[in-house]
Amino acid sequence: MNKDDIKNIVIAVASVLVVLLIAGALFLYGESDIALLFGIIGVPVIITIASAWYIKSVKQRRLEDPASRVKERELRGTCRDMIQLRSRMHDIEDAHSITIAESVTELDAIERAIQNSGGSIDPDSGSVDCDQEVIKGVTLFAIRNIAQDLDRAEQQFIDRLYDAAVKYAEDSRAKLGTLNNAGYDLGSCISELESIADPDKGIDEIVGYLDRLKAITEDALRGCVDDAKKLAAYHTGEVSADQVEDALQARDYGEAVTKLEEDIITLKTATKEEFQTYRTSLINALDTATMSVEDEKFKEFKEDVVGTSSPEKLVRLNEIGDAFMKRCQTLIDQMHYELSSTEDGIKEFMPPDYFWKGSGLAEKEYTMDTGSVEDAAGSFAAMVSGLRPALERNRESYKILNSYHRTVERQIQKRLAAKGAVSGDDLKVGRHAEFLRLYDYYHPDASCIDGTLHLAEGAKIVENPLMIHVTDEDGNGIEGATITLMRGIGISITLEHITGDDGYVTIENPGEGKYQLIVDAAQYRKHEGTAALPADGIDITLKRKGIEDYLCRGKAKAIKDNLHRYATDVLKELDRSGVVSSEFDMYINKDYRACLLYILAEEYPNLRFVSHSHTSKYPVLYDEERMVSRLIDTAKAMDKESYNTSDFNIPLPTEEILHLTEIASERGVHITVEQDDTA
């Protein structure tokens, strides 16, 4: 069934529907007999005519050439393939200005052959039409020859496009090489072009290859424009930026290269003097900075500057100059920070004045003069000359003090304990005179005379002293805290000491090892931990005991593990009355009830715990929201100017009643409560 058959069937069906509609209209608006007669006669007549029409068309097709439909189908397919190939050729021409003239000629010849065979292509819409009479006179073999010619032309187009793409790449590399030799920095772009492998022989692969070449080339040329603009900023000249962009839009890369070459030649001449002057200044600045500080970055900058000898590199020189000044400021900042932090570390040792004094440089600000590179180098050298001696003194002083407090002080103590005197020869360190004098300063019970340290008469050396400091959360020392050190490994040792009024206690030579440390003080929670000795000191902070410590000592874990079971009765009573006392008959031992109420207050934000009430000496837990509502409802019902606490019939202390009135006030209900005698 072809299109003509379908058209005939549609016409027949439409005719039947028209007859039925007319019959229906006559039935509704006319006589029913006429409508029935019209339908009975009209429908068979239409069916008869349509059948005869269809039979005639079938007989006519039998008389036609049986291969005409095959020829038309193949001819249409060839036309569509040609439209697609020609479209790809136009796209490539628009994007890359590549026209393969031979392929255009071949396609024109194929199009003429298609027209001679009965096919036609609308150049505007791209639609295909076929002339049946012409197709009858053409053999199927001839139409298939056209398709083969098109396939051959497509393959030849791909081969020619491949050759054009390779030449395109060579031209791009040559153009960028020309600009690179002229003075533009395009080494990386040229390397990127050279790294692109030749494409496979397929239209999509070749087009992708051309797109990448185009992107790299145009980016490189626009980069040259930017470089030329930067260089032009150093004099009053102009660059051909607009002309280059116009050439790029037209894909005339040759014109763009020519304009850029002209620009760089002009700029070289215009900036030659500035280049030479700045290059000399930068080399002098680098020499000045290098004499002050040996820095690898300075060496790299110097190598780059010495290797730059063409005026078009003036922009690069300025970039190096900016980086040089930033590096100088960074080095100064590092030296200043190290000096400040080292002095802070020295001050922690509280050194004697004869040994070390602050340089006063830590508080100063160091910002270089950046008017020019030579000015920056001069201020850099001046700052280094001021900071370096102080920094070297600080390093040496910190090293001596740190060594003294970490190791040398203990060496001296051991010698003094054994002999009562220490000379420089007894110490296995350099600069022993400095260390002996420091010990004399830090220890009033010893004195250094003629290079020998003597222990004062009656003085005693405490070896490996351990100082423990016990404080509260505010940092105040706790007097009378009991400190217990226990060691169970090896020889068992138990040491007990009491802190003084400042919270300190010093334990003489407790021995090395891992100890269990227990610190206990009245009204504070006990601290239990471990301590690895020897140690310079131990700081312990104790927390004050709260209600939980008194009510829940040794009970909290057991309650929390089964809180849901224990809390059921309490929550039901709260839901009923709003207040529960620890005397309430709960599903838990009586000794645990107060702790249970306290834990529930922590778990539920609407519950509030009170250690005692005016109706009972036992702890109470109440629902704060319910009590506030009860308070407000009672006040509204009584409607008084002021109330006594007994008016509300709430079994809570006066402080809690006042607390409830504050909450009511926050909600806009102001209740004045006066304490009565019954409270």
**Predicted structure pTM score:** 0.46
pLDDT at 27: 59
Whether residue 70 lies inside any domain: the answer is no
Distant-in-sequence, close-in-space partners of 589: CB < 8 Å, separation ≥ 6: none
Question: Does any domain span residue 446?
Answer: yes
Q: Are residues 598 and 563 in the same domain?
A: yes
Between 178 and 433, name the one with better pLDDT.
Answer: 433
- Which residues are CB-contacts of 261 (< 8 A; sequence separation ≥ 6)? 178, 179, 182
What is the rounded CA–CA span in Å between residue 411 and residue 117? 114
Residue finishing a domain among 192, 211, 232: 232
Does 144 score more than 70 pLDDT? yes
pLDDT band at 399 (very low <50, low <70, confident <90, very high): very high
pLDDT-above-90 percentage for the chain: 15
What is the Cβ-side half-sphere exposure of residue 568, based on CA atoms within 13 angstroms? 6
Element (H, E) at 449: strand 446-449
Residue 531, strand partner residues? 515
In a domain? residue 71: no
Please check whether residues 171 and 206 belong to one and the same domain.
yes
Residues 196 and 330 occupy one common structural domain: no
Residue 374 inside a domain? The answer is: yes
Quick check: is 502 in a domain?
yes
- Is residue 18's pLDDT more than 60? yes
Residue 21, pLDDT > 80, answer: no
Domain of 207? 78-232
Give the C-alpha distances (Å, rounded to integers) separating 88 from 94, 123, 167, 202: 10, 14, 20, 12
Residue 586 pLDDT exceeds 60 = yes
Beta carbons of 158 and 201 less than 8 angstroms apart:
yes
Domain boundary among 521, 545, 569: 545
Within this chain, do residues 290 and 367 fall inside the same structural domain, yes or no?
Answer: yes
Give yes or no for residue 240 having a pLDDT over 70: no
Whether 297 and 399 share a structural domain: yes
Q: pLDDT tens across 616-671, in order?
A: 577 888 888 988 898 888 888 888 888 887 888 888 888 888 888 898 888 888 88
User: Residue 156: inside a domain, yes or no?
Assistant: yes
Q: 360 or 271, which is more confident? A: 360
* 254 & 136 share domain: no
Higher pLDDT, 162 or 230: 162
Confidence of residue 381 (pLDDT cuts 50, 70, 90): very high
587 and 478, same structural domain?
no
Residues 253 and 384 in one domain: yes
| One domain, residues 181 and 195 | yes
CATH number for position 514:
2.60.40.1120
Edge-first strand order for the sheet with 504-507 is: 504-507, 466-471, 537-541
Q: What is the pLDDT of residues 27-85, one digit of tens each?
A: 566 555 665 665 566 667 667 776 666 666 655 554 445 567 888 888 888 899 988 98
Query: What sign does the CA torsion over 54, 58, 60, 64 have?
Result: positive
Sign of CA dihedral 414, 415, 416, 419: positive
pLDDT at 679: 44
Per-residue confidence (pLDDT) for residue 236, from 0 to 100: 47
Considering 510, 545, 580, which residue would you say is the last residue of a domain? 545
The pLDDT-based confidence of 7 (bands split at 50, 70, 90) is low
Percent of the chain that is helix, strand, coil (3-state, to 5): 60, 10, 25
3-state secondary structure of 424: helix
Do 360 and 449 fall within a single domain? Answer: yes
The C-alpha atoms of residue 397 and residue 408 are separated, in whole angstroms, by 15
Q: Are residues 410 and 274 in the same domain?
A: yes
The answer for residues whose C-beta is within 8 angstroms of residue 353's C-beta and 6 or more apart is none
Q: Which ranges of 293-408 does DSSP label H, i.e. alpha helix?
A: 296-306, 314-348, 373-403
CA–CA distance from 677 to each of 346, 495, 614, 646, 674 (Å)?
A: 68, 57, 12, 9, 10
pLDDT the model gives residue 343: 92
Total of domains in the chain: 5
* 364 and 290 inside one domain: yes
pLDDT tens digits for 509-552? 777 788 899 999 888 888 888 888 877 788 999 888 776 666 77
Residue 68 in any domain: the answer is no
**Residue 366 contacts by C-beta under 8 Å, 6 or more apart in sequence?**
332, 333, 336, 383, 387
Residue 73 placed within a domain: no
